[in-house]
């Protein structure tokens, strides 16, 4: 009973610490999910379904926690996305232009705790975040037509006033219970307790195509809460081979009532279901090779997956969304123990692009188009009970070009809005400290 109380105390502490970091959460790698959770996973391309040497099972595979032992992990990842958008060949020439997003530096916390209640039973908590729809474009040199006289006035890229951008932050607290059903077989469950916050500025033009024009843009922060669950399995079938699987339900969130005229279904914005399967190979005690497959079902969330070309008004049951497709991700990581104090890692992560050419205009606000991530990292033992881990990621620039939505909004002259291009590259550098007890 004493151990359970201690774990409960640290669980509450973890949630408080992570909540304090919420304003800085941002990310955009595999869509708006991180390419991995936990600094060791981040150094191995995100491969994580079979690893048992950290406390991030609530984000990766809950079954891992019963093999992880007593530990506490805390870290921060400096994430730097570089985003830009441009419009060219518009028949209404003042619509053409180029702009870079500001706000390029974000600090993403990670926190985990695990306690063995019995040799075959563990209780822990993982606290992690998602984000990525975090853009901040200056007004630039764009001009848009106003009124029937055809005059042009200075605007931002989407013909609104002032700076253009959105901010989406998602914080998930995942208390995790895991149990060994056999000596080398574990199962786990993690309720996903979610909080999210959203704001948008500079998209006043979208009010003209909304069923609630007063609930579209420049309304400050809106927040919502919700819950889902993640379940997992991990089996060590030999010293050389392990297999894991994890499934997270859609996390049903309360609606963003303040933005009921923007998101489909009157402001709904759930977190999509996702699942993973992974294998781990250990050709000798010094080497680990991990390979994961992940699927994120963005299309099942109307506000994310509905095509931006839907003819229904914004905010309606079948209203336009960002048009994101489901994402398939392959994660490959390699780990080598140089000696008892140093482990080095490298990895590669490739995901399909969620954004199609038809949806480029909406995704100026959320250009989550990168597909390839290259990672390296290491862990150094400070003493027998504590360690320091670092990880670096680079995602080279990727762009998507498509016909501007303004070709529909401004039907005369033909091709009024021309073609638009969104572009994104990323890098990150993180550090974490862990203690075993």
Q: Does domain 2-436 have CATH number 3.20.130.10?
A: no
Tokens 């550098």 sit on residue: 429
Tokens 């954004």 sit on residue: 355
pLDDT digits (tens, 9 = 90+) for 232-248: 999 999 999 999 999 99
Name every residue whose Cβ is closer than 8 Å to that of residue 383 and which is 6 or more positions away in sequence.
Answer: none
* Structure tokens given for 124: 């822990």
Exposed e or buried b for every residue in 18-48, given b needs 16+ CB within 10 A? beebbebbbbbbbbbbbbbbbbbbbbbbbbb
DSSP lists the bridge partners of residue 434 as: 73, 387
Q: Half-sphere exposure of 226 toward its Cβ, with a 13 Å CA cutoff?
A: 20
* Structure tokens given for 206: 């979208």
State how far the Cα of 374 lies from the Cα of 379, in Å rounded to an integer: 18
pLDDT digits (tens, 9 = 90+) for 302-331: 999 999 999 899 999 989 999 999 999 999
Question: For residue 149, what pLDDT is reported?
Answer: 62
Low-confidence ranges of the chain (pLDDT < 50): 1-21, 23-24
Secondary structure class of 326 (helix, strand, coil): coil
Question: For residue 412, what pLDDT is reported?
Answer: 84
Question: For residue 146, what pLDDT is reported?
Answer: 77
Tokens 């390029």 sit on residue: 104
Task: Name the helix (H) or strand (E) containing 329.
Answer: strand 327-339
* Beta-strand relationship, 106-118 and 151-154: unpaired
State how far the Cα of 250 lies from the Cα of 270, in Å rounded to an integer: 7
* Beta-strand relationship, 222-238 and 241-248: antiparallel
Question: For residue 17, what pLDDT is reported?
Answer: 46
Q: Estimate to the nearest angstrom the gap between the alpha carbon of 107 and the chain centroid.
A: 14
State how far the Cα of 334 lies from the Cα of 282, in Å rounded to an integer: 10
- Tell me the backbone φ, ψ of residue 402, rounded to 5 degrees: -160, 170
pLDDT digits (tens, 9 = 90+) for 333-360: 999 999 999 999 999 999 999 999 999 9
Percent of residues, the chain, with pLDDT higher than 90: 86
Question: For residue 134, what pLDDT is reported?
Answer: 83
User: Is residue 229 within 8 Å of 248, Cβ to Cβ?
Assistant: yes
Tokens 């958008």 sit on residue: 85
* Structure tokens given for 39: 């600094």
To the question of pTM greater than 0.85 for the whole model, the response is yes
CA angle 37, 39, 44 (to 5 degrees): 85
Break the chain into its structural domains and give their ranges. 2-436
């Amino acid at each position: 009973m004493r151990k359970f109380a201690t774990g409960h105390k640290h669980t509450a502490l973890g949630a408080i610490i992570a909540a304090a970091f919420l304003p800085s959460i941002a990310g955009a790698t595999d869509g708006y999910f991180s390419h991995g959770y936990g600094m060791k996973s981040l150094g191995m391309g995100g491969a994580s379904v079979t690893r048992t040497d950290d406390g991030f099972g609530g984000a990766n595979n809950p079954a891992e926690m019963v093999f992880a032992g007593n530990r506490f992990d805390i870290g921060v990842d400096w994430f730097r996305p570089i985003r830009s958008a441009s419009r060219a060949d518009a028949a209404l020439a003042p619509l053409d232009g180029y702009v870079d997003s500001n706000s390029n530096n974000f600090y993403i916390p990670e926190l985990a705790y695990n306690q063995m209640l019995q040799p075959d039973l563990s209780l822990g908590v993982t606290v992690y975040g998602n984000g990525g729809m975090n853009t901040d474009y200056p007004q630039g040199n764009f001009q848009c037509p106003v009124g029937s006289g055809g005059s042009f006035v200075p605007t931002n890229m989407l013909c609104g006033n002032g700076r253009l951008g959105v901010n989406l932050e998602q914080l998930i607290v995942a208390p995790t219970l895991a149990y060994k059903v056999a000596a080398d077989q574990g199962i786990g469950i993690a309720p996903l307790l979610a909080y999210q916050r959203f704001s948008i500025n500079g998209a006043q033009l979208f009010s003209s195509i909304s069923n609630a024009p007063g609930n579209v843009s420049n309304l400050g922060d809106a927040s919502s809460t919700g819950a889902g669950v993640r379940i997992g399995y991990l089996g060590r079938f030999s010293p050389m081979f392990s297999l894991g699987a994890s499934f997270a339900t859609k996390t049903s969130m309360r609606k963003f009532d303040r933005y009921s005229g923007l998101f489909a279904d009157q402001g709904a914005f759930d977190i999509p279901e996702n699942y993973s399967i992974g294998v781990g190979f250990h050709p000798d005690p010094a080497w680990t090779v991990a390979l994961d497959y992940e699927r994120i079902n963005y299309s099942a969330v109307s506000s994310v997956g509905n095509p931006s070309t839907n003819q229904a008004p914004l905010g309606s049951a079948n209203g336009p969304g960002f048009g994101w497709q489901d994402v398939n991700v392959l994660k490959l990581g390699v780990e080598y123990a140089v000696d008892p104090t140093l482990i080095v890692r490298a990895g590669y992560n490739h995901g399909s692009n969620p954004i199609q050419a038809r949806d480029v205009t909406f995704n100026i606000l959320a250009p989550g188009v990168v597909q390839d991530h290259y990672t390296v990292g290491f862990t150094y033992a400070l003493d027998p009970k504590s360690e320091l881990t670092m990880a670096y990621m680079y995602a080279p620039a990727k762009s998507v070009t498509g016909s501007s939505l303004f070709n529909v909004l401004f039907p005369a002259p033909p091709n009024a809005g021309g073609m638009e291009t969104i572009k994104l590259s990323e890098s990150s550098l993180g550090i974490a400290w862990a203690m075993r007890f």
